[in-house]
């Protein structure tokens, strides 16, 4: 979803800085190619968002290389399926919290001094915030927290002219599912219970991120926009 959103922003005229794990360099270069093909600048910043110092460096480099910052999208997430709370090691729980909750906290704090009136912060929540699956105990609660911080921060920053909104995907095909985020049996039926009867593709919600950053969405803040194939949440 992050790749699709980055490419969509570039096609609408934005220069884009993207973060990724160092071992995802090939994927990052592919996204950068699409951004370049759109005639925009791509800044690649590898690193681990679970590290506070790196989050500060990430923002500083993005501001320096882009010449400023107008839009901040917090999209990175960690999701691992566990049948029982008893199966979640504290190390895994900590990694999920640091990726999904601490990282946007650190990044937003670092970015705020650079955001002027008219800027937009966009978070990525999930249908899990509203209808949590039993095997996503830790991930689901981070998405509920994401939805909450969108609403809280929107009220806090409204007087500064900075809008804060979120996107809540339903079943979307992403690396989260095939890298431990779902069991094999669950993958076979992934998205089949939606009214559309299928999962969505990242490109099918990329335009929501773009719209939430657009000037003509200037009265939308503290909102969560869903893309769940008709499932009705949020």
Catalytic residues, which ones? 139
179: left (phi over 0), alpha (psi -120 to 50) or beta: alpha
To which residue do tokens 């590898």 refer? 46
Residue pair 140/125 in contact (Cβ under 8 Å)? The answer is no
Beta-carbon count within 10 A of 153 CB:
21
- Cα separation, 27 vs 31, in Å, equals 6
- Cα separation, 96 vs 82, in Å, equals 13
Q: How many residues does the chain have?
A: 234
Nearest to 101 by CA among 136, 128, 135, 139: 139
Residues 6+ apart with CB under 8 A from 160: 115, 117
- Cα separation, 111 vs 62, in Å, equals 10
- Cα separation, 39 vs 36, in Å, equals 5
Nearest to 205 by CA among 165, 164, 172, 230: 172
């Amino acid at each position: 979803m992050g790749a699709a959103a980055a490419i969509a922003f570039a096609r609408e005229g934005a220069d884009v800085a993207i973060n990724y794990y160092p071992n995802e360099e090939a994927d990052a270069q592919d996204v950068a190619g699409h951004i370049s093909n759109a005639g925009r600048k791509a800044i690649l910043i590898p690193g681990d968002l679970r590290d506070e110092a790196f989050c500060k460096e990430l923002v500083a480099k993005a501001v320096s290389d882009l010449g400023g910052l107008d839009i901040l999208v917090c999209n990175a997430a960690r999701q691992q399926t566990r049948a029982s709370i008893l199966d979640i090691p504290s190390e895994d729980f900590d990694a999920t919290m640091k990726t999904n909750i601490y990282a946007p906290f650190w990044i937003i704090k670092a970015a705020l001094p650079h955001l002027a009136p008219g800027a937009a912060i966009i978070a990525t929540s999930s249908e899990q915030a509203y209808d949590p699956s039993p095997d996503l105990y830790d991930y689901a609660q981070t998405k509920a927290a994401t939805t909450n911080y969108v609403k809280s921060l929107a009220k806090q920053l409204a007087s500064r002219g900075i809008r804060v909104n979120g996107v809540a995907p339903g079943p979307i095909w992403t690396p989260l599912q095939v890298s431990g985020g779902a069991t094999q049996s669950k993958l076979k039926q992934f998205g089949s219970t939606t009214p559309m009867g299928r999962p969505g593709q990242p490109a099918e919600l990329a335009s929501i991120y773009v719209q939430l950053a657009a000037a003509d969405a200037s009265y939308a803040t503290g909102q969560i926009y869903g893309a769940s194939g008709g499932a009705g949440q949020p």
